[in-house]
Amino acid sequence: MTTTASSPAAEPGGMGFSGYQKFVVAVLAFLQFTIVLDFMLLAPLGALVVPALHITPGQFGEVVSAYAFAAGVSGILAAGFADRFDRKKLLLIFYSGFMLGTLFCALAHTYTQLLSARAFTGMFAGVVGAASMAIVTDLFPLAMRGRVMGFIQSAFAASTVLGLPLSLWLSSHWGWNAPFFLIVAVCTAVGGFILGRLRPVIAHLALRPDKNPLHHLLHTLTTRDYLVGFVTTALLTMGGFMLMPYSTLFIVNNLGISMKMLPTVYLITGLVSAVMGPLLGRASDAFGKFRIFAFGCVMTIIMVLIYTRMSNVTLWTLITVSALLQIGIFSRIISSSALMSALPKPSDRGAYMSISSSLQQMSGGLAAMLGGMVVVQVGEGRLLHFDVLGDILVCTTLASFALMYFVNRRVMGAVPAPVQQRVESEAGQ
């Protein structure tokens, strides 16, 4: 029985996925769905959580930031150990902790309880994302990663199309806590599939990773080629996280869109993203990841400047602008994720992804807090200075474009390391 034919390393980028590869992409997409929905859920629920818990927009930003900062710290602490274990086991352990934290969120009824629960959830969520991205990088060559990232990142769209409307409906009938129970149920099913069908991911162990966790962490943090990727990741995250926690408040109070119409907004923009995600991933592999990233930057800048300056618009105007903005954001996320996954060596992937995930969370948390300091809620809820947040996002987008140019030069100039993980031929049957 030969394994070469169905090995990810042996497949050219133009070939289709094997049966096992399709399973891996699907289960990681569902996993990403739960992680994204858990995080994104608070933004559309902000208009319900703020009055229910009698908190200010600034305190709401602290709740969002608690998750992000906890995830950032845990990502750094886990980085030294991330390449010493089977990635499947690491994923299961931290995914179980994430599910438990989400349950605590569902049971929270005070500001302090919710703040603590979000911090606990974030401790595990950051490492879950890093482990799943390391698995993708181990199992798929660079020529296929655009498509893989396109499907996995479509979890953002799925959370918008399915998760957010359903969550808003549940919250309107049984309280804002109810959607978190839904996430726990989905996590249970996803965890069962990972436990039962995902094979051990251990090829990186044969490369003899550094046994000293602190040394491995410091080595990854100080490698010059990795530093550019880390800074780029932080900039990519900051601008978006300034807008996200306050978007619902802006839509309801500034644009005059009722809470009842929010599910329609999320549904249609999510459907656009769900369709465009795989297409953008395929385009990223076909036309070049940096070119798609550049397109995404241009689209993002134009639409952010429009979006943050709107006032009392019609529902369909909001949906059109939001959908175009999502296309720009998805173009950047998918292409940058695929491109930067090629930076670390196989023996450093777990550590690199953990640190990168940590930076994403910490940058996002800092951005959410800064956003809370910039925007001001006046009168009957109207937000002031939301356009300033848009201007900051434009600046971070331009800076990330400049840095991604150097990332692309480094990746395209390097000889791709062979993928070590082999997939048995009968897995595709």
pLDDT at 404: 93
Least confident of 46-55, 108-117, 285-294, 347-356: 46-55
**143 exposure class (CB count in 10 Å sphere: 0-12, 13-18, 19+):** middle
pLDDT tens-digit series, residues 77-132: 877 777 777 889 989 999 999 999 999 988 887 888 888 999 999 889 878 888 88
pLDDT at 15: 57
Sign, CA dihedral 99-104-106-107, equals positive
Q: Residues 220-246: what's their mean pLDDT?
A: 83
**Tell me, what DSSP letter sits at residue 411?**
H
CB 151 within 8 A of CB 25: yes
Q: What fold does the segment set 17-412 form as a domain?
A: Growth Hormone; Chain: A; (1.20.1250)
pLDDT at 376: 85
Residue 256: count of CB within 10 angstroms of its CB: 14
pLDDT band with cut points at 50, 70 and 90 for residue 420: very low
d(CA 98, CA 76): 17
pLDDT at 422: 38
pLDDT tens-digit series, residues 146-186: 888 888 877 767 776 677 677 777 777 777 788 888 899 98
Task: State yes or no: pLDDT of 409 exceeds 50.
Answer: yes
The pTM (predicted TM-score) of the whole model is: 0.74
Higher-pLDDT residue of 306 and 63 is 306
First to last CA, the chain: 14
pLDDT band with cut points at 50, 70 and 90 for residue 414: low
In a 13 Å sphere around the CA of 353, the CA atoms on its Cβ side amount to 30
Q: Which residues lie below 8 Å from residue 166, measured CB to CB, with a gap of 6+?
A: 179, 182
Above pLDDT 90, what percent of the chain? 21
Task: State yes or no: pLDDT of 290 exceeds 90.
Answer: yes
Q: Which of 26, 39, 7, 422 is nearest to 193 (CA)?
A: 26
pLDDT at 175: 76
Domain map (residue ranges) of the chain: 17-412
Report how far apart, in Å, the C-alpha atoms of 79 and of each of 9, 210, 225, 265, 317 are: 26, 12, 17, 38, 44
d(CA 371, CA 65): 11
Q: Which residues lie below 8 Å from residue 426, measured CB to CB, with a gap of 6+?
A: 1
b/e per residue 312-324 (b: at least 16 CB within 10 A): ebeeeebbbbbbb
Q: Residues 128-148: what's their mean pLDDT?
A: 86
pLDDT band with cut points at 50, 70 and 90 for residue 304: very high
Task: State yes or no: pLDDT of 71 exceeds 90.
Answer: no
d(CA 38, CA 363): 18
Q: Which of 53, 73, 182 is nearest to 115 (CA)?
A: 53
Higher-pLDDT residue of 427 and 347 is 347
Phi/psi class of residue 16: alpha, beta or left (left: φ > 0; alpha: ψ in -120 to 50)? Answer: beta
Residue 367: count of CB within 10 angstroms of its CB: 28
d(CA 280, CA 399): 22
Higher-pLDDT residue of 264 and 422 is 264
pLDDT tens-digit series, residues 356-403: 878 877 787 788 778 888 888 887 778 888 899 999 999 999 999 999
d(CA 90, CA 74): 13
Task: State yes or no: pLDDT of 415 exceeds 60.
Answer: no
Percentage helix, strand, coil for the chain under 3-state DSSP, each rounded to 5: 80, 0, 20
At residue 124, what are phi and psi to the nearest 5 degrees? -100, -30
pLDDT tens-digit series, residues 188-205: 999 999 998 898 888 777
pLDDT at 225: 83
pLDDT at 210: 58
Mean pLDDT of the chain: 81
Task: State yes or no: pLDDT of 209 exceeds 70.
Answer: no
pLDDT at 8: 37
pLDDT band with cut points at 50, 70 and 90 for residue 296: very high
